Amino acid sequence: MSGRIRRVGVVGGGQMGAGIAEVCALAGLDTVVCEVDAVAARAARERVAASLERAVRRGKMAGTAAREALTRLVFTGDLEELADRQLVIEAVVENPDAKTEVFTALDKIVEDPAAVLATNTSSLPVMRLGMVTGRADRVVGLHFFNPVPVLPLVEVVASLHTSPDTVAAVEEFARRTLGKTVIRSQDRAGFVVNALLVPYLLSAIRMAESGFATATDIDTGMELGCAHPMGPLKLADLIGLDTVAAIAESLYDEFREPLYAPPPLLQRMVEAGLLGRRTGRGFHVYDQV
């Protein structure tokens, strides 16, 4: 890749994809967000616009900066519009088949052989995604944290095939262009943060499941007893219980350690559509916006 990354694509305009697109636009980048269709693309635009509006309302940024960021964003339902991108970040649902489909398509669509194809996966092997392309050396993990505009961390994950030039390019992008703090991880399920965090969340779920303590008392205990800004069950609700379950399954598949196994209560809640904050109910009840 010659020069700095200026043209970015984001596949997926949900909570994570919208946040990634927002920080890219705020950094002055030409950003194209691709969703499954035009309806979903409009919803993604509304999601980013609402986030920018909240930031202005809270005094975190000027209205002019928010308006300028929106002008740098294009929302589409056509993956072909990512053909000229220097970096494409996949941020679709945490499902191996869905992510594999995206990378297979991007390999054919993105024209520059030196372009980087990055995944925001929380737990899936980067190697698996790289191997469905003809450019595994240009595939890398670039894992942001929710909410992306607020949390400063990015994990950079290289597979056995990822080239040093690719790692250097995405690290420079995350640090210099987006202003994020970067840590590196080997290509192991969960990387650094989720390999430590998810067993803690699952332990809290098991505690609630057994009747040892209520969800409110578990969260209050960790917030006031350990100075955590958010209790584990509130955090699981924020992440999304379906995402927590998917990460747990990936961790268990790789390591076969009982502490990674998703508890039955978590699985039942996902089956019931009680996914946390975005559905209005998880371990706690939320007002729907």
Contacts of residue 180, defined as CB under 8 A and 6 or more positions apart, other chains included, come to 144, 152, 153, 154, 174
Pick left, alpha or beta for residue 275 (phi over 0 → left; psi -120 to 50 → alpha; otherwise beta): alpha
Kindly report the CA angle at 7 between 18 and 175, in degrees rounded to 5? Answer: 75
Task: Measure the CA–CA gap between 134 and 159, rounded to whole angstroms.
Answer: 14
Strands (E), 21-78: 30-34, 73-76
**Token match 């747990």: residue?**
248
CB 141 within 8 A of CB 158: yes
Establish whether 161 is a catalytic residue.
no
Exposure of 152 in the CB half-sphere (CA atoms within 13 A): 5
Establish whether 146 is a catalytic residue.
no
Establish whether 143 is a catalytic residue.
yes
Of 35, 90, 143, 161, which one is the catalytic site residue?
Answer: 143
Task: Measure the CA–CA gap between 135 and 109, rounded to whole angstroms.
Answer: 12
Q: CA gyration radius for the chain? A: 19
Give, for 142, the enclosing helix (H) or strand (E).
strand 139-144
Of 122, 159, 185, 250, which one is the catalytic site residue?
Answer: 122
Of 51, 120, 185, 194, which one is the catalytic site residue?
Answer: 194
CB 106 within 8 A of CB 90: yes
Of 123, 155, 159, 185, which one is the catalytic site residue?
Answer: 155
Catalytic residue numbers, as ranges: 122, 143, 155, 194
